[in-house]
Structure 1
């Protein structure tokens, strides 16, 4: 997958920088092999450190704010979740000309799932539903911020409609802009969430999931968007990963009501519509998943 820089102002990081940072702050790990982990992610770079660790460095200033959030929240979440999550082994400081905090985590085994090649979609749907339900059941501590994308659906309206306008100018993508507009407007009409705050991952993209050889969920990574908000934010896998039959298993296992399903579908579609024109020439993995989501959503309605 692409490791192309796709955000303005993104910082270049490489193996040599990681070696210097590790040697200067964690001398016990100096000399371990360092190699970049290929990723379609756009905010953080990851480097394998030895066999059992991974160094995660933000490439943008906005991503730097996620580091302390992860380091604070993951120890609270890990004991309560049915799936492995990153375990912090070291908190790095700015140094060597690199301006932001960074982290060393234990390495988690698994492969990123591909929507077209899932080993056991319905069992994966059950695993994902179990993870989402567990997140929602964890007591929300005072001061936990609203999750990225966790606000009202209407807060995404301007950006979503702008993206649809961009896609109208890219006919080669073949997006039925009238149809996606109708789905989006249906999400806007759905009743908003008015329940108590719940804890969300808020970025359940395929690239943030790991599965084993049998297709079962083994780990969930990248909690930089975590926080409170509309539970529909964590319905993303229904359309960005799961086929129709498994999608129904996911919904039924979680007991998702109609309004939440409509909001979740709209939120997932919004993210895809925004991503496609932004990434189509710079990040093949993100653009490919955006196209998958648009097809899945329009195929359901």
Structure 2
């Protein structure tokens, strides 16, 4: 039996997904529906035929919320220099699956591995090109929505204390605590910019060693300009990280603040997903090790 990742998690299998998809999108009825295994923690994902993907939230979501995400995803797809899913519509729930859900186009590629391209300057350059392209999108009148990472690292002190208490024996908690005390104080390095906000391996696709697609752009919006730099420690070793920094042109404060966000995110993965999603827990451990071993950010 699969361990559920969250309390109250919604459950949907291929048979139910196929029935719901056929009801809401009759033009897709009869296409094979296949569950996609992976490290996803927010949605159960099904491939529909060869060209489509259905995303069923693991926690109930409203149609309005998913329509807002679809609008952000559409803007992201227009802005990204790499292929990204295009929203195709939002479906409604019923008594068997009490949540709205969404349909998108399918993007080809293999999900990035934290170590697969870790020494590649070319892959680092691709990540840098993505970040710069997103930053070039005008923020306009939009402001950071206050959700999750992307404001001030210090606002997450209580969460980090909780993670440290849960992570004894899993990572170097004393090293993390010392690094956090320094990194959380890094001053903001400029105005908020448009950001993907979750550049983890599970949201990046590769082909022939290069970045070939970007998933989960539905949170595209203004945030701390350092936030998208988390990919440097999630995916790259020291030399390639340096190349990414060169491409982005990050200052010392901006770079170290990016390390703070990577450390905050990683510490939540280490213990929370230890049993229910070992891939994510291992990502947390490897990212923590990269941050603590990076002499450019931890002295």
Q: TM-score, normalised by structure 1?
A: 0.91
**1:115 partner SS:** coil
1:152 equivalenced with 2:147 (yes/no): no
Measured in 2, the distance between the counterparts of 1:159 and 1:274 equals: 8
**1:204 partner SS:** coil
Deviation per CA, 1:105-158: give whole Å up to 9, x if none. 111110012122228721111111111111111012544652531111111111
Shift of 1:209: 0.3
**1:219 partner SS:** strand
Pairs within 5 Å for 1:1-301: 4-61=3-60, 67-95=66-94, 97-118=96-117, 121-143=120-142, 145-146=144-145, 148-168=148-168, 171=169, 173=170, 175-193=171-189, 195-212=190-207, 214-300=208-294, 301=298
**1:72 partner SS:** helix
Number of equivalences: 294
Pair 1:143–1:256, CA change in 2 (3 A): closer
**1:117 partner SS:** coil
Q: List gaps (5 residues or longer) in structure 2.
A: none
Root-mean-square deviation (CA, aligned residues, Å) is 2.1
Pair 1:226–1:66, CA change in 2 (3 A): farther
Measured in 2, the distance between the counterparts of 1:65 and 1:35 equals: 27
Measured in 2, the distance between the counterparts of 1:210 and 1:82 equals: 13
Shift of 1:76: 2.1
Pair 1:163–1:284, CA change in 2 (3 A): same
Measured in 2, the distance between the counterparts of 1:107 and 1:210 equals: 12
Q: List gaps (5 residues or longer) in structure 1.
A: none
Pair 1:118–1:273, CA change in 2 (3 A): same
Pair 1:63–1:267, CA change in 2 (3 A): farther
Shift of 1:10: 0.8
Measured in 1, the distance between the counterparts of 2:172 and 2:118 equals: 31
Deviation per CA, 1:167-215: give whole Å up to 9, x if none. 23xx2x2x2222111111111221124x333111110000000000x11
